[in-house]
Structure 1
Amino acid sequence: MSKIKCAIVTGGSRGIGSAICQTLAMESEYHLLINYTANKAAAEATLQKVEESGGSGEIIKFDVSNSEEAKAVLTTWQEANPDAVVEVVVNNAGITKDGLFMWMTYQDWDSVIQTSLNGFFNVTNFFIQKMLRNKYGRIVNMVSVSGVKGTPGQTNYSAAKGALVAATKALAQEVAKRNITVNAVAPGFIKTDMTEAMDESELKKLIPLNRFGEAQEVADLVAFLVSKKSGYITGEVININGGIYS
């Protein structure tokens, strides 16, 4: 029996994650696993758009930062879908708890690290042995300009994303012989819920292209990286930030 090829997108219900799901629905054959933690309505809305685009998918609820929950939910899903093979993992889930380091609480430090960095481990580690056996895979880690240049007021987020950059480069070398690529995408200021409160008119003066990016532009890059076309690109951090930093 032929395998059902799947792609999982963590934090797939809103913003960049939702745009990635919708783009993969249009540009790939993958059955999409749309992960979410709390906002079921947004996840269902994304699934509806995926299906309207001619794709197929399902929503899958778990907190990526909770290793036991992630493992339990993914194991249950895999057992219920023995013919499914996850070829693509997009680690998109992330949170911010911004503030100056001198006033940062341990909770604000820990929760950001847990979601971005431990979330990457919990989801990728679950699928990596299966990818190695299948001798094919695409892993894309969503990082940030903060993880490449560092952003004041985001020491926790910069630390989490910077660590994920290093993990991307190391893992890429471990799994390359098995035709698995591991890359990171580092967006700058992108129009999403996360940047809604920012003063776009002031901030865009810092950006050579003089505008915030669109979630769709990031999704198009991710769609390329998970496609067969990108087979010779691995261990890379690709900046998508309008020229603010490279």
Structure 2
Amino acid sequence: MTTLVIGGTGTTGSLLVPLLPDAVVGTRKPVRPGQVRFDWDVPATFDGALDGVQSVYLIPPVGVVDPAPVVESFLSRARSVRRVVLLSSSAVPESATGMGALPALVRAMPEWAVLRPSWFMQNFTGDHPVAAGVRSGEIVTATGDGRVGFIDAADIAAVAARALTDPVPHNTDHLITGPEALSYADAAAIITDLTGRAVRHRSVSTAEMTDRIALAVPAEFAALLAGLDEDIRGGAEDRVTTTVEDVTGRPARSFRAFFQDHLSRS
């Protein structure tokens, strides 16, 4: 099946595309062969991106508190699409509106899977605020001692590839974590050990975290993100699953192995 990979130049999409020989990359600014224009803010781009497509890797619009209406509109146009794999999150509960409404929309498709990964290991690298903290020597969150089953985006992509191409549709939710649950202090200690440079974690209140995030994103979205930190502090992400191994046949990568590989490529 020809697959439209929405966000095909992003964190998971760029890792998924090489695993799909017939992938079409949906991006706001197509510049290479195999890329098509797709922009959640411009519904006129939907039909062209869907032309000849039978499956979709669906990353909802980023920074939108309630993406359900635009995603529903997109899926209503996807008449030739048989299978949809949604990238959701382990931190997003089912709900009637907002991000939590998207799984129900996808389950209405003939074939589907909902990916619910934990927090990305890639947040500790690149342009993410946590990565900026790694570089400065201090990671700031509102998570306290709460632990997270951090997951490598490459492992998410591997699960997505199977969900998109397996002859038998998965038709299920996949809760995806790495092999161990770590606090941000634990992760900082691993980074310190690997780099020889001190990195520590400082936990702040949810209110202070909201204010910090609001310097970069709208206040409503900042409150939502800071609230996820608070959930971690309460133990919501303190779990591990064997989903990566169950689906792909190989175990998920550890945080230490991920960051060591990052250092070797830096």
Normalising by structure 2, report the TM-score. Answer: 0.54
Q: Deviations over 1:38-69 (max 9, x none)?
A: xx4xx65xx6xxxxxxxxx6111131243234
Match of 1:168 among 98, 106, 119: 106
Letter in 1 for 2:177: N
Whole-angstrom distance in 1 between the partners of 2:76 and 2:42: 13
**Matched residue, 2:5:** 9
SS at match of 2:156: helix
Whole-angstrom distance in 2 between the partners of 1:239 and 1:187: 6
Match of 1:190 among 113, 120, 139: 120
Whole-angstrom distance in 1 between the partners of 2:8 and 2:44: 20
Deviation of the 1:219 alpha carbon: 0.3
Q: Deviations over 1:184-219 (max 9, x none)?
A: 10111113469821368776963465xx31111000
Match of 2:18 among 11, 22, 28: 22
Cα gap change, 1:239/1:94 in structure 2, threshold over 3 Å: closer, same or farther? farther
Deviation of the 1:182 alpha carbon: 1.4
**Matched residue, 2:88:** 143
Deviation of the 1:229 alpha carbon: 4.2
SS at match of 1:167: helix
TM alignment of 1:41-52, pairs within 5 A: none
TM alignment of 1:125-144, pairs within 5 A: 125-127=76-78, 129-131=79-81, 137-144=82-89
**Matched residue, 1:89:** 56
Letter in 1 for 2:46: A
Whole-angstrom distance in 2 between the partners of 1:221 and 1:205: 29
Indicate the structure (1 or 2) with the bigger Cα radius of gyration: 2
Letter in 2 for 1:221: V
SS at match of 2:91: helix
Whole-angstrom distance in 1 between the partners of 2:177 and 2:11: 16
Q: Deviations over 1:16-55 (max 9, x none)?
A: 1111112224xxxx2x211112xx4xx65xx6xxxxxxxx
**Matched residue, 1:214:** 152
Deviation of the 1:86 alpha carbon: 1.5
In 1, are the aligned partners of 2:37 and 2:45 still within 8 Å (CA)?
A: no
**Matched residue, 1:240:** 176
Q: May I ask how many residue pairs the two structures share in their alignment?
A: 172
In 1, are the aligned partners of 2:24 and 2:36 still within 8 Å (CA)?
A: yes
**Matched residue, 1:105:** none
In 2, are the aligned partners of 1:10 and 1:90 still within 8 Å (CA)?
A: yes
Whole-angstrom distance in 2 between the partners of 1:93 and 1:12: 12
In 1, are the aligned partners of 2:2 and 2:54 still within 8 Å (CA)?
A: yes
Cα gap change, 1:238/1:16 in structure 2, threshold over 3 Å: closer, same or farther? same
Q: What is the RMSD computed on CA atoms of the aligned residues? A: 3.3
* Consecutive unaligned residues in structure 1, runs of 5 or more: 48-56, 79-84, 97-110, 132-136, 151-157, 176-180
In 1, are the aligned partners of 2:55 and 2:84 still within 8 Å (CA)?
A: yes
Q: Does 1:113 align with 2:66?
A: yes
Whole-angstrom distance in 1 between the partners of 2:88 and 2:127: 15
Match of 1:58 among 15, 24, 34: 34
Deviation of the 1:119 alpha carbon: 4.3
Letter in 1 for 2:72: F
Whole-angstrom distance in 2 between the partners of 1:162 and 1:214: 23
Normalising by structure 1, report the TM-score. Answer: 0.57
Cα gap change, 1:69/1:208 in structure 2, threshold over 3 Å: closer, same or farther? closer
In 2, are the aligned partners of 1:113 and 1:160 still within 8 Å (CA)?
A: yes
Q: Deviations over 1:149-171 (max 9, x none)?
A: 89xxxxxxx953211122233x0
Cα gap change, 1:22/1:220 in structure 2, threshold over 3 Å: closer, same or farther? same
SS at match of 1:220: helix
